[in-house]
Amino acid sequence: MFKISKWLVILFVAAACTCGARTECDGRAQVSLLTGIHEDAACKRVSSRGVLLYEASKLLLEQYNSKTSGFKLELAVVDTCGSIGGALKAAIKALVSADLSCLQPPHYLGIIGPDNPTYAEAVQKVTSVLRVPHLVRRPSNSAFLHHLAMENNSHVVQGVLEVVERLKWKSFTLVTSGDKNEDDARNIAKKLTAEAISRELCVIIYDNEDGDFTTNVIHVGKPDDDFFAGPTNATVIVVSEGRLENRLNRVNSTNTIILVEDDRNETTELQTMVEKSKWWNGDGTGKFDPDDMTEVRWLQDAIDVYGTALDSICKKKKCKSQVNSADWMEMISKVLASRNAETVSEPRGFKLLVKIRDGGLKTLGKINVKRNVARISWSVKDGAKGKGKVEEKRKGKGTNEETEDDEDEEEEQDTPDEIEKIAEKAKKKQIANLDCASNLHEAKLTEDEEDHATQIVVAEMDDTEWWTMVGTVSGVGVAMFVIGILAVYIVYTNIRGPRSPKGQTTSSRRYSLEGDSTLRRVGSDNEMPVSGGGRNQRQPQRAQNSTHRRDSIRSSISDRSV
């Protein structure tokens, strides 16, 4: 399939280059987005994530073109239909629609995606013939698949653990969203588990058993509707990428809910576009999942990378004609290196809200994370929204110990009453008989993008299991060794064959040698000069010599084969 598609593209190129009247390239700067709007090979089942990216691409492109002073970009979205074959068809369709004779900047910039790493590797075998670059989520050895890093979710982990530290927790139950599509939530849970264990915290992995719930719970991702019926009189920290205020305000439970949420998610316009998208085919309002906003922000970065690279290279080349492919690849690599570094170092902010039982959500403050260091700035106690004293004081250098000590004292003074009550409750709580993930649990919290189960914590074995494993492995090893020795002996015996008495062997060999020399001598003595008349007389002799020669050759071959 790959070879057929590659030759098909080559034929397209040949047709475009050999036609008599070649059209001039227009001035558009086009980018192609390959994504799965449908999630089945038949292209019938609509993907909510694919619809989100389709609608987001239109909104992001409009925002980019409105603020740029350089080239205006065009973005063509092509459906991969959730299969490798669909991805290959989408790539060919994108290249043909972009004009195969104009596949270099400033006319055509490259491809974003496909989302699936396997699809990307398959597609680049075709597009690499035309030296078309891709921006992808996973690193690759291909020179045409450029890795654009997604947001570093270590910021989320550091922010959550800062809240845990303020609450004086020594243990907590970790719950991850049950949605299989939320790989980002599982990756956050994996990192959160590892970091918490390194800080000597006890992590209890929830595995759908009521006994796993403690009074301290952390839920990563969007919780199910009936989740809060499980824990009782507990403090639940909900970690979310999207806006969950309205949903959590409707929850009636005996628990105290603390919401840690990204403060950048202004999704009202995008949510409306997704819910009214044409792709739902009149099936009613579509589904908008705010937890997929990480994918949207990655798409925004990809558009910015192509736009920045085009503006940068056209300052040098003026872009009066098509830019050389090698120069374009080099420029993309430079812009990506800068962007990936910014992804790690740029600060992140999270809103911190609390809900006491049946009350409404109340803003507690903001978590600021920079270079994996988290600080909480509490809101002013009179209820007015704004920045607390801690954040204002931290605008200085903040590198000496005295400044840090002052900040800690100020933070203790400004801590809200809700946090102080939870911390006091945690101090009185005694930890006993907890099945911590650090030594008793084995949990699967993340799925690998290429299929995808990764285990977070390796459980320890007791003595019986350990010695059983050692005995089994040792027994298998000894058995394999004995079988190997027996096999070598059998092969050696068959090759050597049965042995004859020495006298018989010597006599037979001497007879054979003498017979060979006699036959050779007789044949040599009886050989007659070549003449036409003696041809019939030599026929019996030649037959005899041929018979002897065949016997000798057959004997030699037999000896050599042995």
Q: Which CATH number fits domain 154-265+347-455: 3.40.50.1220, 1.10.10.10, 3.40.50.2000, 3.40.50.2300?
A: 3.40.50.2300
- Residue 537 confidence (pLDDT): 46
- Residue 246 confidence (pLDDT): 83
The per-residue b/e assignment along 486-519, b for 16 or more CB within 10 angstroms, e otherwise, is eeeeeeeeeeeeeeeeeeeeeeeeeeeeeeeeeb
Lookup result for tokens 């209890």: 204
Secondary structure of residue 216 in the 3-state scheme = strand
The CATH fold of domain 2-151+272-345: Rossmann fold (3.40.50)
Nearest Cα residue to 444 out of 157, 236, 205: 205
- Residue 447 confidence (pLDDT): 40
Output DSSP code: residue 46.
B
- Residue 185 confidence (pLDDT): 83
Handedness of CA 83, 84, 89, 91 (dihedral sign): positive
CB atoms under 10 Å from CB of 173, counted, come to: 22
> Strands, E, within 159-284: which ranges?
171-176, 202-205, 216-220, 235-240, 256-262
Cα angle 40, 43, 48; round to 5? 70
Give the type of residue at 70.
G
Secondary structure of residue 204 in the 3-state scheme = strand
Average pLDDT across each block of 10 residues of the chain; the chain has 562 residues. List them in order: 49 44 68 94 90 95 92 94 94 90 91 94 93 94 93 90 94 81 79 93 80 83 84 90 82 91 80 89 68 89 96 86 92 95 87 89 92 86 45 39 47 74 78 57 40 34 54 72 85 70 48 44 44 46 51 48 40
- Residue 152 confidence (pLDDT): 82
Distance CA 134, CA 120 (A): 8
**Is 154-265+347-455 the same fold as 2-151+272-345?**
yes
H-assigned helices in 397-501: 401-414, 417-428, 463-496
Distance CA 183, CA 283 (A): 27
Instruction: Please state the three-class secondary structure of 77-95 as a single string.
Output: EEECCCCHHHHHHHHHHHH
What ranges do the domains of the chain cover? 2-151+272-345, 154-265+347-455, 465-498
Put simply, whether the predicted model's pTM sits higher than 0.85 gets the answer no
